[in-house]
Structure 1
Amino acid sequence: MPDQRRLDLPGYPGGFDVVGNRVNRQFQLDVFGESLLLLAAAARHDRLDADGWHAALTAADTIAARHREPDAGIWELHDDRWAHSRLICAAGLHAIATQAPSCGSGRAAGWEALADRLVAETSADCLHPSGRWQRSPTQTGVDAALLMPAVRGALPADDPRTTATLRAVRTDLVQDHYVYRFRLDQRPLEDAEGAFLLCGFALALAEHQQHHNVKAMRWFERNRAACGPPGLYTEEFDVAQRQLRGNLPQAFVHALMLEAAATLAPRG
């Protein structure tokens, strides 16, 4: 991936076109957990071939070797011991370990033990005094990404850390039923950046996990409506000006919107 450079093309207000990516030299631990979640889903549907299992083993080994290193995290920021990165890896390890008949019970037990260790270590240095997850040992704020580890199975839905984090996101990062990633500084949320639609759908999934089905549908419908005329989503949404912001189209937003739609759909 080449370095990021700007093109001389106009965009919507405040926007511009770029090619490349500035994160091409970053290490992101969380992607190995996300990969394991995907590979475990493939295994559950009997769709994981030998190459897929090799990828799963590689991802699990990488987590074991590098989980104590700082990484750039889901939001591709400065290196830190991000809580989300470690917790989503725990979720991935738990998920792939459930496929023990395919990979051997001994290896699965090792993955479960590593997942438990990751949760324990994260709880030791990233548990806020209020009982919620904080972003990292040095960043004490709330982060909407920390809704996802429980949704993905890193820890139970009724764990006090799960419910405390959900309450904190609702209290600190919400405006007009849109959700922001985290507080960048002391400015009002909408002055610092747009709401992240990915986080809105994550909150819908988190509410559904708590059996708050009406709340979940409200979060889903509010964020589902924040698309352009073709039905495509950007990364961010300017709540004050009701305008799309950021990358277009944003694949992660569309993926989580579809997952939330399938999860929240009434079962016949």
Structure 2
Amino acid sequence: MTSATAAAACGEHALLDDAVRFVTARLHEDGPRLAPAYTMTGGPVPDQRTLGLPGYPGGYDRIGNRVRRQFQLDAFGEALLLLSAAHRLGRLDTDGRLAARLAADAIAHRRNEPDAGIWELGNRRWTHSRLICAAGLRSWAGLAPDGRAASLAALADRIVADASVTCLHPAGRWQRSPGDPRVDAALLPPLRGALPAGDPRTRATLRAYARELTAGHYAYRFRHDERPLEKAEGAFLLCGYVMALAEHQQGHREEALRWFERNRAACGAAGLFAEEYDIRQRQLRGNLPQAFVHALFLESAARLATPPS
């Protein structure tokens, strides 16, 4: 869905249409049991296993993904954002509109359940999952052709209000979950419309994230432990482009371009991005190529070329 959102921003309608058909079909088939990931044919992702091969450098020989057994609430919010983008471009049919209704209904029924979250961790009431669902509901409420706009907007308001009670840090920023006060790259959902760019919670979260989880215009997901950030994992290139978009949304064009150019330079010789980048050894880390990094790269390039909305 990240790739399809980028396709919408870049005007690549053929890719957008394919993604909408795929997500629509999955929602019609699975409804509130929507999986976080599927194979290209719409089947379940194979379970994780090893191949018994050496990794380089220090990598793993795993294939498949444990995500097949997870529930991720945020998938419904992302689906609504995708279907809304298609609808604005006049590219959503009756099946797509019904899929949006199924996604909204799933949020209404499952919004209080713990989920694995965007980083596929243990089940909690992750703040990001709730806020991205609110973003999706707000987006679809502005377009809903079935007279549900008011109820969808009200549900989004309730989700944000509930999150403010349990997931707002004393410093005025969002925290990861009710029991985890740390900041996280996933806590920038105002990019998708959960809250206005000028909301104090939005700005406080952006400032805290930039202060605690970035270095030299490279960004990290979250702090794993007391080790320096770069010792725990590589800079997450996806997050670098999220920072470019966040600064652009705030009207900080020069800073947004700094983020974009620094992370753009972290590609390999073939011009492809990996999931992570080791800023000390100047090496790519993790999965290569990684589609979501390329998607955010393309979306950032398209959005930074226009004034913030």
Q: TM-score range by the shorter chain?
A: over 0.9
Work out which of the residue numbers 58, 68, 71 in structure 1 matches 2:102. 58
Deviates more, 1:6-15 or 1:228-237: 6-15
Q: Distance in 2 between matches of 1:23 and 1:145?
A: 18
Instruction: Name the CA distance, whole Å, in 2 between partners of 1:136 and 1:264.
Output: 31
Per the alignment, residue 159 of structure 2 pairs with 118
Partner of 1:12: 56
Q: Does structure 1 residue 104 correspond to structure 2 residue 146?
A: yes
- Decide which of 190, 197, 203 is 2:230's aligned counterpart: 190
Aligned to 2:172: 131
Tell me the secondary structure at the aligned position of residue 51 of structure 2.
strand
C-alpha separation in 2, matches of 1:94 and 1:58: 15
Q: CA RMSD in A?
A: 1.1
Matched with 1:214 is 254
**Deviation of 1:10 (Å):** 3.7
Select 1:171's aligned residue among 196, 204, 211: 211
After superposition, the C-alpha distances for 1:94-136 in whole angstroms (9 at most, x for unaligned) are: 0011113xx223x111110100111111111000000010000
Deviates more, 1:126-135 or 1:1-10: 1-10
Unaligned runs of 5+ in 2: 1-44
CA distance in 2, matches of 1:173, 1:211: 21
1:7–1:16 CA contact under 8 A, matched in 2: no
Structure 2 counterpart of 1:195, which letter?
A
Output the CA distance in 2 between the equivalents of 1:23 and 1:210: 34
Q: How does 1:44-83 map to 2 (within 5 A)?
A: 44-83=88-127
Instruction: Tell me what 1:226 maps to.
Output: 266
Structure 1 residues 90, 6: closer, same or farther in 2, change over 3 A? same
Equivalent of 2:128, from 69, 84, 87? Answer: 84
Distance 2:261 2:52 in 1: 36
Pairwise CA distance, 1:18: 2.2
Paired letter, 2:66: R
How far off is 1:265 after superposition? 1.5
SS in 1 for 2:50: strand
Describe the SS at the equivalent of 1:88: helix
Q: Deviation of residue 248 (structure 1)?
A: 1.2
- Equivalent residue for 1:240? 280
Distance across 2 between alignment mates of 1:185 and 1:51: 46
User: 2:39 maps to which residue?
Assistant: none
SS at match of 1:23: helix
Q: Determine helix, strand or coil for the equivalent of 2:120.
A: coil
Q: Taking structure 2 as the reference length, what is the TM-score of the superposition?
A: 0.83
Deviates more, 1:47-56 or 1:208-217: 47-56
Who is 2:191 aligned against? 151
TM-score scaled by length of structure 1:
0.96
- 1:263 is matched with 303
Q: Deviations over 1:232-263 (max 9, x none)?
A: 11111111111111111111111111000001
Query: Quick one: distance in 2 between partners of 1:238 and 1:53?
Result: 43
Q: Deviations over 1:150-200 (max 9, x none)?
A: 110111100000000010011000112100000001110011111111100
Q: Which residue of 2 aligns with 1:35?
A: 79
- Provide the identity percentage: 69
Runs (4 or more) in structure 1 with deviation over 2 Å come to: 8-12
* 1:195–1:238 CA contact under 8 A, matched in 2: yes
